[in-house]
Amino acid sequence: MSGFDAIPLEFFQDYPAPGVNFIDVGCVFDDPVHWQLAIDTLYERTAHLHFDFILAMDARGFMIAGALAYKRAIGFAMARKPGKLPGEAISIDYQREYGSATIEIQPARIKGERVLIVDDVLATGGTIEAAASLLRQVGKEVVGAAALFDIGFFEDKRTLTMPVTTLRKV
């Protein structure tokens, strides 16, 4: 193992609900070497994809998406939990590993046509599929999604409508 695969990870069993093995992505953010490795690896692994804009998922996706957008020199918008976005917003309810949730986007802020959705963790895929649904509703092409971690338990249980790049299966 080397590179991003060698970063020591921290898990919390039964957080935030019984049965969940929660990966704390803070263990990537809190070390500058790990953080740079994460963003540089994500940049390399998505370099071939033709996206011109990023949708950043609230909240742990924000830092990752912002860093990738900066490195790629493109814009990004935030998909937020309900009631946080001013002006016109559209929303969707969905299921994720530990229960239901809602996200919103401001259509006017999606200032690109081919969008990459960026988050920290892929589990059931409910979050990225909800985001893709909102983007398609406003006529955007979803090029794919990218996340640092893939919760392997869900690999055979999810149906994804887009290619997803993940850096490490856990």
Ligand X SMILES: O=P(O)(O)OC[C@H]1O[C@H](OP(=O)(O)OP(=O)(O)O)[C@H](O)[C@@H]1O
Ligand Y SMILES: Nc1ncnc2[nH]cnc12
Interface with ligand Y by CB under 6 A: which residues? 20-23, 96-97, 121, 123, 151
Residue in 40, 31, 7, 10 with CA at minimum distance from that of residue 22: 10
Alpha helices (H) along 15-125: 26-29, 32-46, 60-72
Residue 55 and residue 40: Cα distance in Å, rounded?
Answer: 18
In this chain, which of 120, 132, 140, 168 binds ligand X, going by CB under 6 A?
120
Choose between 2 and 13: whose C-beta lies nearer to ligand X: 13
Q: Which does 23 bind (CB under 5 to 8 A by kind): ligand X, ligand Y, none?
A: ligand Y
- What stretch of H or E contains 134? helix 126-137
Whole-angstrom CA distances from 165 to 71, 87, 128, 143 are 17, 32, 12, 11
Residue 150 and residue 134: Cα distance in Å, rounded?
Answer: 22
Residue 60 touches ligand X, criterion: CB under 6 A: yes
Tell me how far, at minimum, the Cβ of 115 lies from ligand Y, in Å: 21
Tell me how far, at minimum, the Cβ of 19 lies from ligand Y, in Å: 10
Tell me how far, at minimum, the Cβ of 128 lies from ligand X, in Å: 7
In this chain, which of 6, 9, 17, 59 binds ligand X, going by CB under 6 A?
59
Residue 119 touches ligand X, criterion: CB under 6 A: yes
Q: Which does 144 bind (CB under 5 to 8 A by kind): ligand X, ligand Y, none?
A: none
Choose between 15 and 70: whose C-beta lies nearer to ligand Y: 15
- What stretch of H or E contains 136? helix 126-137
Rg of the chain (C-alpha set)? 15
The binding site for ligand X (CB under 6 A) comprises: 57-60, 96-97, 101, 119-127
